[in-house]
A = this chain, B = another copy of it.
Amino acid sequence: MRLATMVEADRSIRAAADTGDGWRALPATDLSGWFASGARLEPGELLNDAEPTLPLPRPHKVICCGLNYGDHILEMGRELPSYPTLFAKFADTLTGPIDDIVLPRGLQVDWEAELAVVVGAELRRATADEARAGIAGYTVANDISVRDWQNRTLQWLQGKAWDASTPVGPVVVSPDAVDPAAGVDVVCRINGVERQRGDTSRLVFDSAALLAYVSAFTVLRPGDLVLTGTPGGVGQGLRPPTFLTDGDVLETEITGIGRLRNVIRLTD
């Protein structure tokens, strides 16, 4: 099954599900509202002329794991971790699957293609098995990072939480239709040139492990997002370091889930 928040031709938005016969409306304006209202799967009328937008515009929590692929850890000059490195984004940080990413000119804007996990159950001190059963699905994200701000201090938040900088979507694919633990490719292309290709079976902490770990200190609820980290190939790791420029086309794709396509707009 696939879930999405769809924009219709009249610009109204609707939560929707595709169980095999096309996108049908769910009784909520978006997937955040649908998860909050109990996530009952009662698809209604078919949606025509509708396109996916940001699937989860109002998550309570967006938690990200850094340094979770061996190759990316090595390119950033660090050692393999015993614990997941976690930081937060805000709901405001997210943007849609085909939206421009608008940031001030002069920043070191870097790419980080990532698998994102959508929480489907309330998880508190969950075991890995409970966490796995509490996964509603998977989507695609790019953890766009403003490196100069990220590196100003010890804490990364100010480089990771620029408003409307992290594209997410286009759809949420249920665990019966995609299995990241078995390995799917996470790919980032800039202007058509492949910059990252990771295999989710190589994650140090897989989706269920991350959800269980987080749930030890804070509750996760349906509609929350956990980003699982990025593979090697980010701009900061290139020699010389390379960052996004105005007009760059950023594509982020995961096999079996879908593709984001965002144009970078750097403004004065």
Q: By the criterion CB–CB under 8 Å, are A218 and B163 in contact?
A: yes
Complex interface: chain B residues within 8 A of A88 (CB):
87-88, 90, 157, 161
Given contacts A60-B90, A88-B90, A90-B61, contact A155 B66 (CB under 8 A): yes
Residue of B nearest to A162 (CB): B217
Residue A153 is within 8 A (CB to CB) of chain B in the complex? yes
Complex interface: chain B residues within 8 A of A146 (CB):
217
Q: By the criterion CB–CB under 8 Å, are A84 and B153 in contact?
A: yes
Residue A85 is within 8 A (CB to CB) of chain B in the complex? yes
Complex interface: chain B residues within 8 A of A63 (CB):
157
- Least Cβ–Cβ distance between A47 and chain B, in angstroms: 30
A69-120 interface with B by 8 A CB criterion: 81-88, 90-93
Q: By the criterion CB–CB under 8 Å, are A163 and B217 in contact?
A: yes
How far, in angstroms, from A83 to B158 measured CA to CA in the complex?
A: 10
- Least Cβ–Cβ distance between A267 and chain B, in angstroms: 12
Q: By the criterion CB–CB under 8 Å, are B218 and A155 in contact?
A: no
How far, in angstroms, from A61 to B92 measured CA to CA in the complex?
A: 10
Q: By the criterion CB–CB under 8 Å, are A161 and B66 in contact?
A: no
How far, in angstroms, from A91 to B66 measured CA to CA in the complex?
A: 22
How far, in angstroms, from A253 to B87 measured CA to CA in the complex?
A: 29
Residue A40 is within 8 A (CB to CB) of chain B in the complex? no
How far, in angstroms, from A219 to B87 measured CA to CA in the complex?
A: 18
- Least Cβ–Cβ distance between A147 and chain B, in angstroms: 13
Q: By the criterion CB–CB under 8 Å, are B217 and A152 in contact?
A: no
Q: By the criterion CB–CB under 8 Å, are A218 and B161 in contact?
A: yes
